[in-house]
Structure 1
Amino acid sequence: MEPRLKSIYKSEILPQLKDSLGVKNVMQVPRLEKIVINMGLGLDANDNKVLKTIETDLANIAGQKPVVTKSKKAISNFKTRAKIPLGLKVTLRKNNMYFFLDRLINIALPRIKDFRGLNPKSFDDNANYSFGVKEHVIFPEVNFDKVDKVRGMDITVVTSTTDKNQSKALLDKFNFPFVKKGAN
Structure 2
Amino acid sequence: MKSIISNFSRLSVAPSKSRFSINSINHRSYSRLADFYNNTLRDDLTILQYNYKSEKLDQYINEKNLNELSSGSDSSATADVSANSNPNSEVSSPIKKKALTETERLLNKNVRKIPGILDMDGLNSARVESVTVHIRMKEALGNKNNILSGLMALQCITGERPEVVKARSDAAAWKLRKGMPISAKVTLTGESMYIFIDKLVETVLPRLKEWDGLKVNSGDGLGNFSLGFTPAALGLFTEIEAVYDMFPIIYGLMVNIKTTARRNSEGRLLLSGLKLPFVVPRPRAAPPKRRSKRSN
Find the aligned partners of 1:181 and 1:75 in 2 and give their Cα distance: 35
Give the secondary structure class of the aligned counterpart of 2:218: coil
Counterpart residue type for residue 270 of structure 2: L
More strand by share: 1
Please state how far the C-alpha of 1:52 moved relative to its aligned partner: 1.2
Find the aligned partners of 1:80 and 1:2 in 2 and give their Cα distance: 43
- Cα contact 1:127–1:163 (8 A) shared by 2: yes
Q: Which is further off, 72-81 or 153-162? A: 72-81
Matched, 1:57 2:85: no
Matched, 1:32 2:32: no
Please state how far the C-alpha of 1:117 moved relative to its aligned partner: 2.4
Matched, 1:18 2:46: yes
Find the aligned partners of 1:7 and 1:89 in 2 and give their Cα distance: 26
Q: Which is further off, 134-143 or 163-172? A: 134-143
| Runs (4+) off by over 3 Å | 180-184
Identity %: 24
Matched, 1:139 2:249: no
Give the secondary structure class of the aligned counterpart of 2:199: helix
Deviation sequence 1:18-64 (CA, Å, 0-9, x none):
00011552122100000011110113234232111211111101110
Aligned to 2:34: 6
Find the aligned partners of 1:43 and 1:145 in 2 and give their Cα distance: 18
Counterpart residue type for residue 87 of structure 1: S
- Cα contact 2:224–2:259 (8 A) shared by 1: yes
Find the aligned partners of 2:229 and 2:282 in 1 and give their Cα distance: 23
Count of aligned positions: 184
Which stretches in structure 2 are left out of the alignment for 5+ residues?
A: 1-28, 52-119, 285-296
Find the aligned partners of 1:116 and 1:75 in 2 and give their Cα distance: 35
Matched, 1:75 2:75: no
Find the aligned partners of 1:113 and 1:147 in 2 and give their Cα distance: 23
Counterpart residue type for residue 163 of structure 2: V
Give the secondary structure class of the aligned counterpart of 1:15: helix
Q: Larger RCO: Structure 1 or Structure 2 (Cα < 8 Å, ≥ 6 residues apart)?
A: 1
Q: TM-score, normalised by structure 1?
A: 0.91
Find the aligned partners of 1:122 and 1:79 in 2 and give their Cα distance: 33
Find the aligned partners of 1:8 and 1:129 in 2 and give their Cα distance: 21
Q: Which is further off, 173-182 or 84-93? A: 173-182
Please state how far the C-alpha of 1:114 moved relative to its aligned partner: 3.6
Aligned to 1:112: 208
Which stretches in structure 1 are left out of the alignment for 5+ residues?
A: none
Which of 189, 196, 221 is 1:100 aligned to? Answer: 196
Find the aligned partners of 1:183 and 1:102 in 2 and give their Cα distance: 31
Find the aligned partners of 1:172 and 1:82 in 2 and give their Cα distance: 40
Q: TM-score, normalised by structure 2?
A: 0.58
- Cα contact 1:122–1:131 (8 A) shared by 2: no
